Amino acid sequence: MAREVLLTIRLPHDAGRLADFPVHPPRAYARPTAPFTRRALAAAHVVGDPLSAADPWLQTAIDWEATIAYRRHLWSWGLGVAEAMDTAQRGMGVDWKNSLELIRRSLDAAKDVPGAVVASGAGTDHLVLHAHTSAADVIDAYEEQCAAIEKLGGRIVLMASRALTACAKSPDAYGLVYDRVLSQVKEPVIIHWLGEMFDPALAGYWGGADHDEAMDICLDVIRRNAAKVDGIKISLLDKDKEIAMRRRLPAGVRMYTGDDFNFAELIEGDAQGHSDALLGIFDAIAPAASHALSALAANELAAYHETLAPTLPLSRHIFQAPTRFYKTGVVFMAWLNGHQDHFVLVGGQQSARNLLHLAELFRLADAAGLLADPELAVRRMKSLLVVHGIS
């Protein structure tokens, strides 16, 4: 059945053409009334402060109130928050000092929300690299951040370390670092293997010549430390590699999908298991993700796939290469939907995607029924068009 058309907007296409685009009512998404059968965390973005006097390329300016309000939005849909991760521009505009403040504020806010889940990123991004940086320095940096998060009462996502990639001379260095850090954590952690498509500085992580060899090294680390590992999130955008690794994990260790291209089928799983979720795209599609997870919990598979199907083209567009610029699309969605008053990112990264990309994102968000207030979204899209010389 054709969807009702509320209004139209002229949007640019390839080759500089403008064409009318019909905007439709949002889809009806229901908040959860029962727990999901999958763990589901959204890697949440930060809201920049556009009125700060800070120079955006050099200093971090965060609108703390709007940032925490967005976490409350995610919790209201039954999703956990993966805090201070790459979606929050961790190491890409947001430093460790601001990350720790972000973690503190999120943990404080979660105390007022029954059932709210927060998992917080611990890394080594405060470590200043030099010619003599060693695995011991990386261990010290990890220990410092883990201790700071645990002091706040937080659970840890052990993030990949650029410093370790830079200084490791062999796979043994990864084993040395992870064995030491995992031996000391108070509660089981989620290990995050972030691929080079998200962060080019992490190419060659785990010390393997390719992803398959790297997977063997990573699995050895997990097997030795299984009691201290809740799960692993891999962000390689390759469903076959994720499934292969999932089937080799020790009993009790979860696979958290980081595949923003194929998350629907990976979360559903197969006869040999399923993936839980820790996804940047859940920041942008929280209502649809929540609705679908409730359908999955009720074993309503047709409704699950019907809900997520139109979000997949949107996600693949937001995360298209260069994938590291996906934060621009996530924040654009939050702005269109009224969760923040501006389209400004920390570090000025609103400029990382071009207007044609954003116009297509608008069309795909409409197709997914994720423009919560179409009139507001159209007004905001028109204001962006004017800035680009289209009136």
Output the pTM of the full model.
Answer: 0.96
- Specify the amino acid at residue 9: I
Beta bridge partner(s), residue 277: 40, 257
Average pLDDT along the chain: 96
Res. 2: pLDDT tops 80: no
**146 and 122 Cβ atoms separated by less than 8 Å:** yes
Q: Cα separations (Å) of 68 from 16, 36, 64, 159, 309?
A: 38, 23, 6, 22, 29
The predicted structure's pLDDT at residue 244: 98
Q: Mind listing the pLDDT tens digit for each residue in 46-83?
A: 999 999 998 888 889 999 999 999 999 999 999 999 99
Res. 146: pLDDT tops 70: yes
Q: Mind listing the pLDDT tens digit for each residue in 339-358?
A: 999 999 999 999 999 999 99
CB-side exposure of 193: number of CA atoms within 13 Å? Answer: 32
**120 and 94 Cβ atoms separated by less than 8 Å:** no
Task: With CA atoms as reference, report the closest residue to 152 among 199, 207, 55, 84.
Answer: 84
The predicted structure's pLDDT at residue 1: 61
Q: What is the percentage of the chain residues whose pLDDT exceeds 70?
A: 100
Res. 294: pLDDT tops 70: yes
Cα 136 from chain centroid?
29
Whole-number Å distance between alpha carbons of 298 and 293: 9
Whole-number Å distance between alpha carbons of 130 and 68: 35
**254 and 157 Cβ atoms separated by less than 8 Å:** no
In order of start, what are the domains of the chain with their CATH numbers? Answer: 30-349 (3.20.20.70)
Residues in contact with 26: Cβ distance below 8 Å, sequence separation at least 6, in sequence order: 369, 370, 371, 372, 373, 374
Res. 286: pLDDT tops 90: yes
Q: Kind of pairing, strands 254-257 and 189-194?
A: unpaired
- Specify the amino acid at residue 138: V
Res. 262: pLDDT tops 70: yes
Whole-number Å distance between alpha carbons of 319 and 313: 10
